[in-house]
Structure 1
Amino acid sequence: MEHTWRWFGPNDPVSLSEIKQADATGIVTALHHIDVGEVWPLEEIRRRQAEIEAEGLTWSVVESIPVHEHIKWSGPRRDEAVENYALTLENLGRAGLRTVCYNFMPVIDWARTDRRWKLPNGGYAMRFDFAAFAAFDRHILRRPGAEDSYDAEDLERADRWFAEADDEARAAVRQTVLIGLPGSSDARELDTLRSGFEPYADLDAIGLRSHLVSFLRELMPAAEAAGISLAIHPDDPPRPLFGLPRVVSTADDVQALLDAVSSPSNALTMCVGSFGSVPTNDVVAMTERFAGRIRFAHLRNVTIEADGKSFFEDDHIDGGTDMIGVVRALLVEERRRKDAGEHAAIIPMRPDHGHFLLDDLERPTYPGYALVGRLKGLAALRGAERAIAAQLDAQLDAQRA
């Protein structure tokens, strides 16, 4: 696999030179300074590419070209935004970029309730406490109809959490939930979040999925001409939030999307932590099942808590998902591609998220994107990959003997 690292551009507290010292060779980034829905100019793409290459690194994956909300709910700017997305793909292809990771989550991207949850070793992890999230929805955001999104036990736990939490705990949850988008440290206001829900009032999962399929069908000619794979990222966490539908949460969701748009350019980002955030997803089996369409991998791990709905970001190879099984499935797929002579045989992976450890506690950083924590994760994953590759080689030698 290609070892990559997410970098948020020149304002990222983690520099390209530090990433190089971590022994990553590929960069995963985007043009974050360009407004959502606008075309990425070729000169801006090449400028960023040159900046990365000047450090001896390669821009390997685009993560991401954000999908405009009007595409998701079919608003008045929908057609313009799809056309601009296609033009951006054309420009990325001209620059030699071949993989784009994107998501189709309405209004809010990943969701957590705690950015720094203390671990037994003294480090910190991100966590999603379902009771705290429901309390935010019901008592802080005060979303109309929030009670309809939870069962009686959930509501009881949410009410208890809110009653027992002090002002500091409530403020921390509010700030963490409102961050909304990766790479951002600015919390959006409650009214802004509430207004974002309004266009989705009558849109269910069937409708949202149909909008995703229409979007992809219109993009496929541009993606295929540019030689680009559009690798969708699963929902994080893979369950409805704020009453909004989510449509990339299960194996059935993935299969339905791949069946609806059969082009090889319609691909998957295997995010182990996202799919692994609910007990019903067998992530190893999903990796094996969809291996031929996986173009990018986020190797992070979570441990689901006793309620089955809360989870925390665990060590990369020690969480609730069998990460060794996932890596093995990806390496087997790489070997199949090489044997078949396929062009994109190598799968880029990155150590997604990481604990806040040592110097991470002192430097400013984007939530989940600490330097030392990710360096530790990459080292562990690299060691696991080497061991699994050696085992596969030995098995092949035994078969030939």
Structure 2
Amino acid sequence: MRQTWRWFGPNDPVSIDDMLQAGVQGVVSALHHVPTGQVWTPDQIRQRQDQIATMRDGTPSGLAWEVVESLPVSEAIKTQTGDWRAHVDNWITSMRNLHAAGIRVICYNFMPVLDWTRTDLQWRRPNGARCMRFDLTDFAAFDLHILERPGATDDIPQDLQDAAARRFADMDDARRTQLTGNVVFGLPGAAEHMTMQDVRDHLASYAKVTDPVLRGNFHAFLELVAPVAQDLGMRLCCHPDDPPFPLLGLPRVMSTEADFAERIAAVDLPANGITLCSGSLGARHDNDLTGMMRRLGDRVHFLHLRNVRRDGDTIPASFFEDEHLGGQTDMVALIQAVVEQEAARRAAGREDAVIPMRPDHGQDILDDIGRGGQPGYPAIGRLKGLAELRGVEAALTHRKEG
């Protein structure tokens, strides 16, 4: 596996120097400041590459921007409204510009409105570490009593409605404000200024977008972009829904192995691939991560390795982000399947025999606590995860010399 690390740009408190000292081989980044739907220009791409290539003191880092995460797909594309065709054209232009800059892997997602959803961003563990958590009762309390979404009572079972009402009544104003901020944080670029009315307006734009409609719109997008990617030698890899079950009445089309297989078959080109995120997919008990890697591994262009622990085997379920070798996914078995896939690719002479991987998320530990980093992306917690994952791979691939 190619050991990479996500970097959010010059304002990221985890620096290029930090990741270099962690032993990272490549960098995952994006132009987060460019509005969704606009073109990523060659100059903007080059500037980010230069930033990654340079340490604080001006010394060359030796690191390069190897994976894009994410080149965002606009809500207009997902709903096929407004200037959606122009946005697709701009997406393709950005992809061509990334190719010209030497970047070959693009991760993206097709999640409506929310990129990811958590109810706690600093949930305390018994050892004092902090992690992210999705609590089903807290989320129902948000949906029913803060957002007051029309139709919420139709989507939420009565027992959960009752529990949510009790939970909401027990919350003080500070917790209600915190919960709102945590949920809204998953809206791209919206963490500080998105109002509840803005959220309601976003949801209303999906009123006529059912699961079949979103699937069709996704396939239309792939039909336009995947052939271009194939011609360029690019690898596109869609990220799964996070979490992988319906929320806020929105459709979900990348939550299960069947979803992934359907999306691959819709435009059956090697460029049309997937990001296997063990954390997102692991939030459902019926997702067999090792089996998915073995059955779909030929199209896995990017790996996110993290672990979650569910409170139960219902769908949906509450969960928290556990240590990388903790949780309910057998990470050793999953990495074994990755090793086997890479060996098969080498035997076939594929240029992409080594799959880029990043230690996804991490618990805040030691000096991470109070540092104010991007939720889920601490320096030391990810370093610990990377070391553990690196150790598993080394043990599985070790060959004694002599």
State the distance in 2 between where 1:74 and 1:373 align: 40
Q: 1:381 corresponds to which letter in structure 2?
A: L
Aligned residue in 1 for 2:228 = 222
Residue matched to 1:323: 331
Q: CA–CA distance in 2 between the matches of 1:354 and 1:15?
A: 16
TM-score by length of 1: 0.95
Q: CA deviation at 1:164?
A: 2.0
What amino acid maps onto 1:389 in structure 2? T
C-alpha deviation, 1:202, in angstroms: 1.4
Q: Given the alignment of the two structures, is residue 89 of structure 1 paired with residue 95 of structure 2, yes or no?
A: yes
Cα deviation for residue 250 of structure 1 reads: 0.5
Q: Is the partner of 2:205 in helix, strand or coil? A: helix
- Distance, in Å, in 1 between the alignment partners of 2:53 and 2:353 is 22
Aligned partners of 1:374 and 1:184: how far apart in 2? Answer: 25
* Aligned-residue offset at 1:25: 1.4
CA distance in 2, matches of 1:181, 1:378: 27
Which residue is 2:6 aligned to? 6
> Alignment partner for residue 105 of structure 1, among 111, 118, 135?
111
Contact 1:100 1:230 survives alignment (8 Å): yes
Q: CA deviation at 1:182?
A: 6.6
Q: 1:250-305 CA distances to partner (integer Å, 9 max, x unpaired)? A: 01101111111101110000000000001111111111111100010000100001
Within 5 A, what are the aligned runs for 1:261-300? 261-300=267-306
Give, in angstroms, the shift of residue 181 of structure 1: 4.1
Provide the rounded CA distance (Å) in 2 between the counterparts of 1:211 and 1:15: 38
- CA distance in 2 between counterparts of 1:307 and 1:217 reads 36
Moved more, 11-20 or 48-57: 48-57
Aligned to 1:32: 32
> Which whole-Å CA distance do the structure 2 matches of 1:358 and 1:92 have between them?
37
Partner of 1:310: 318
2:372 maps to what in 1?
364
Q: Check the 8 A contact 1:110/1:182 in 2, yes or no.
A: no
- List runs of 5+ in structure 1 lacking aligned partners: none
Shift of residue 185, structure 1, vs aligned partner: 4.8
Other-structure match for 2:240: 234
Identical-pair percentage: 47
Secondary structure of the 1:117 match is strand
Residue 185 of structure 1 contacts residue 366 of structure 1 at CA under 8 Å; is this kept in 2? no
Is this contact kept in 1: 2:132–2:320, CA < 8 A?
A: yes
CA distance in 2, matches of 1:178, 1:51: 29
- Give the counterpart letter for 1:169 in structure 2: R
SS for the counterpart of 1:313 is strand
**Contact 1:182-1:367 at 8 Å conserved across structures:** no
Q: TM-score, normalised by structure 2?
A: 0.95
- How far apart are the structure 2 equivalents of 1:167 and 1:116? 18
Alignment partner, residue 198 of structure 1 = 204
Matched, 1:135 2:105: no
Amino acid of the residue matched to residue 362 of structure 1? G
Give the whole-Å Cα distance in 2 for the aligned partners of 1:199 and 1:345.
Answer: 41
Counterpart CA distance in 2 for 1:271 and 1:175 is 25
How big is the shift at 1:43? 1.8
Aligned counterpart, 1:42: 42
In 2, Cα distance between equivalents of 1:108 and 1:150: 19
Q: Aligned to 1:163, which of 166, 169, 175?
A: 169
Q: Which moved more, 1:178-187 or 1:303-312?
A: 178-187
| Conserved 8 A contact 2:119-2:135 | yes
2:150 matched residue in structure 1: 144
Does the 8 Å CA contact 1:184/1:366 hold for their aligned counterparts? no
Aligned to 1:351: 359
Backbone CA RMSD of aligned residues: 1.4
Runs ≥4 in structure 1, deviation > 3 angstroms? 181-185
Q: 1:51 deviation in Å?
A: 2.1
Greater CA drift, 159-168 or 106-115: 159-168
Matches for 1:250-265 after TM superposition, within 5 Å = 250-265=256-271
Instruction: Report the Cα distance in structure 1 between the residues aligned to 2:100 and 2:206, rounded to whole angstroms.
Output: 36
Q: Distance in 1 between matches of 2:333 and 2:243?
A: 21
Residues in 1 aligned to 2:199 and 2:205: alpha-carbon distance in whole angstroms: 12
- Alpha-carbon distance in structure 1 between the residues aligned to 2:155 and 2:261: 26
| Partner amino acid, structure 2, of 1:252 | A
Structure 2: distance between partners of 1:368 and 1:3: 18
Q: Does the residue aligned with 1:203 lie in a helix, a strand or coil?
A: coil
Shift in Å, 1:165? 2.1
| 1:10-32 Cα distance to aligned partner (Å, 9 max, x none) | 11111101110111111000011
String of CA shifts for 1:327-346, please: whole Å, max 9, x gaps.
11111111111111101111
Residues of 1 paired with 2:353 and 2:144: CA distance?
A: 47
Amino acid at match of 1:357: I
CA distance in 2, matches of 1:225, 1:251: 27
Would the aligned equivalents of 2:113 and 2:203 in 1 still touch at CA under 8 Å? yes
Q: Does 1:67 align with 2:73?
A: yes
In structure 2, the CA distance between the partners of 1:307 and 1:338, relative to structure 1 (3 Å rule), is: closer
- Distance in 2 of aligned mates of 1:47 and 1:339: 37
Aligned partner of 1:358: which letter? L
